């Protein structure tokens, strides 16, 4: 019985630790987001330079304009910010990740 109690306690600690959140990907404003970013002025350049070469036709999702990016924003956030698996050639720079994350946390303004 004591062994089962210790095992339950250890499992609880592991589960609680697994539930901690990464501050960069929070859906709360980042304390370092002192600049207001917009799609037109800031984000479109990141998307065009890093995503559109693959995501402009055959390879879903299409990311050629604001509406398409917004329609796929959760996927973009997961792959480019959280998992850092896109673009496939190399992850976005820390600066571009921060801009994209701030923009998302600022409710993705277009202009």
What are the tens digits of pLDDT across the range 24-67? 444 444 557 899 999 999 999 999 999 999 999 888 999 999 99
Q: Can you tell me the distance from the alpha carbon of 81 to that of 83, in angstroms, rounded to the nearest whole number?
A: 6
Task: Taking residues 63-87, report their average pLDDT.
Answer: 97
CA distance 28 to 104: 10
- Is the pLDDT at 90 greater than 80, yes or no? yes
- State residue 59's pLDDT score: 83
Which residue reads 């996927």 in tokens?
75
Share of the chain above pLDDT 70, in %: 72
- In sequence order, which residues have a C-beta less than 8 Å from that of residue 46 and are 6 or more positions away? 92, 96, 99, 100
Predicted TM-score of the model (pTM): 0.71
pLDDT above 60 (res 18)? no
At 44 the three-state DSSP class reads helix
């Amino acid at each position: 019985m004591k062994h089962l109690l210790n095992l339950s306690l250890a499992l609880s600690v592991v589960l609680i630790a697994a539930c901690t959140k990464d501050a960069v990907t929070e859906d709360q404003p980042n304390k370092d987001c002192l600049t207001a970013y917009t799609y037109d002025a800031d984000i479109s350049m990141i998307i065009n330079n890093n995503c559109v070469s693959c995501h402009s036709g055959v390879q879903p999702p299409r990311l050629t304009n604001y509406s398409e990016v917004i329609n796929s924003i959760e996927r973009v956030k997961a792959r480019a910010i959280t998992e850092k698996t896109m673009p496939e050639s190399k992850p976005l720079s820390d600066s571009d990740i921060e801009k994209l994350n701030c923009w998302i946390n600022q409710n993705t303004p277009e202009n």
